[in-house]
Amino acid sequence: MTKRALITGITGQDGSYLAEFLLGKGYEVHGLMRRASTFNTARIDHIYIDPHSADARLFLHYGDMSDGARLVTLLSRIQPDEVYNLAAQSHVRVSFDEPEHTADTTGVGSVRLLEAVRMAELPCRFYQASSSEMFGASPPPQNEQTPFYPRSPYGAAKVYSYWITRNYREAYDMFAVNGILFNHESPRRGETFVTRKITRAVAQIKAGLIDELYLGNLDAVRDWGYAPEYVEGMWRMLQTDQPDDYCLATGQACSVREFLAASFEHVGLDWQRYVKLDARYLRPTEVDKLVGDPSKAAAELGWRATVDPRKLAALMVDADIQALEHSGRPWVDRPDLPDWPALPS
């Protein structure tokens, strides 16, 4: 029997890698996407084939996490075996500007989806994209036992989603799990997150297109891994005998300054000549240090991160240089991706 999965947030970084991964495992994949006035499917165009084709296994549906009735309709129509809830307003700095929208999408959106699963009376498994931002001010190393101390509207909304997922597991005996993922990046990372902002700028500086990069706090420490490895961890969490929550991380600390230095050094440049402070990128409350302890995932899921932050910086800089030289779509040419048929133009 072909397994069927529904991914919310399929147009995002993780959604696109997860869709590829599940198609590679033979799944039929359904994705929820927002209607926009411009195309927002750049990350998945290369795996999409016309749904009229007999080979089509990826299907897209318009919907929004703020629209509970739509989620109920879709769940009962699609009848998925696995639901991955990745949709969110996922930018921490933006969540200070849009706290109510963030609460609605990143927080309440999760209970709308859980309720849709419950109302459809499906025996399906549910993955919630929880975040290391929930740990916030709790000192590292952080693991599944670390108390939450969120430092942003985004972190607070994710704490709500974490607990409502656990509550549905306990109250309704649902197979619902939280993946508590530490930062993970890739050439498909959104351009306003710090790693991608840096690696794009390095490519542009190297090409002589710009000569300044404005950033905020360089002292923050994160645990940066490689996104394609993390989506496999999500899938593994839904294949266990008992539902449980897991942290995914590299276990390695790296400051923004260190990531910056590694990215510039990769092309033989000195970051200090180009980087300037813009206080707009500082946060009213910052998360100083997140470094995960992934030992539970290693022991129970057999999952391990293999790409360290320095390797990640080099990989992302190379992809951004390639993107400038070619079509602006760095991932299409990547040899580590499966060879899916391209969309007809």
Q: Is 141 among the residues that bind ligand NDP (CB under 6 A)?
A: no
Question: Least distance from C-beta 99 to ligand NDP, angstroms?
Answer: 15
Question: Which two structure tokens, joined as six digits, stand for 258?
Answer: 């260190």
Q: Tell me, yes or no, if 133 is annotated catalytic.
A: yes
Q: Is 160 in the site for ligand GDR (CB under 6 A)?
A: no
Among 71, 194, 248, 307, binds ligand GDR (CB under 6 A): 194
- Should residue 217 be labelled a site residue for ligand GDR when binding is judged by CB under 6 A? yes
Is residue 192 involved in binding ligand GDR (CB under 6 A)?
yes
Question: Per the structure block, which two tokens stand in for 20?
Answer: 């590829």
- Three-state secondary structure readout of 304-337: CCCCCHHHHHHHHHHHHHHHHHCCCCHHHHCCCC
Binding status of residue 215 toward ligand GDR by CB under 6 A: yes
Q: Which of residues 12-71 bind ligand GDR (CB under 6 A)?
A: none
Please, what is the Cα angle at 290 between 178 and 195, to 5 degrees?
95
Choices 81-89, 110-118, 207-215, 277-285 (CB under 6 A): range interacting with ligand NDP:
81-89
Contacts of 62 (CB under 8 A, 6+ apart): 32, 33, 34, 35
Counting DSSP H helices and E strands in the chain, the numbers are 11, 13
Comparing CB distances to ligand NDP, the nearer of 205 and 313 is 313
* By CB under 6 A, residue 222 contacts ligand GDR: yes
53 touches ligand NDP by CB under 6 A? no
Which tokens is 309 given? 């932050």
| DSSP letter (8 states) at residue 3 | -
Confirm or reject binding of residue 153 to ligand NDP (CB under 6 A).
no
Q: How far is the CB of 48 from ligand GDR (least distance, A)?
A: 24
Tokens of 328: 């602006």
Calpha distance 235→233 (Å, rounded): 5
CB of 133 to ligand GDR, least distance (A): 4
Q: Catalytic: which of 27, 48, 84, 154?
A: 154
* Angle at 90 (CA atoms; ends 89, 93), nearest 5 degrees: 100
Can residue 68 be called a binding residue for ligand NDP (CB under 6 A)? no
What are the backbone dihedrals phi and psi of residue 131, each rounded to the nearest 5 degrees, phi first?
-140, 150
Residue 15's binding partner out of ligand NDP, ligand GDR, none, with CB under 5 to 8 Å set by partner kind? ligand NDP
- Is 90 among the residues that bind ligand NDP (CB under 6 A)? yes
Q: Which is nearer to ligand GDR, 111 or 220 (CB)?
A: 220
Residues in contact with 152: Cβ distance below 8 Å, sequence separation at least 6, in sequence order: 92, 95, 96, 133, 136, 283, 285, 287
Tell which one of 49, 94, 163, 190 touches ligand NDP (CB under 6 A): 190
Which one among 86, 114, 203, 231 touches ligand NDP, defined by CB under 6 A? 86
The DSSP letter of residue 12 is S
Q: Any catalytic annotation for residue 100?
A: no
Active site annotation includes 131? yes
Q: What H or E segment, with its residue span, contains residue 295?
A: helix 295-301
CA gap 229, 163 in Å, rounded: 25
Where on the chain is the footprint of ligand NDP (CB under 6 A)? 8-9, 11-15, 32, 34, 36, 40, 64-66, 86-90, 105, 129, 131, 181, 183-184, 190
Active site residues: 131, 133, 154
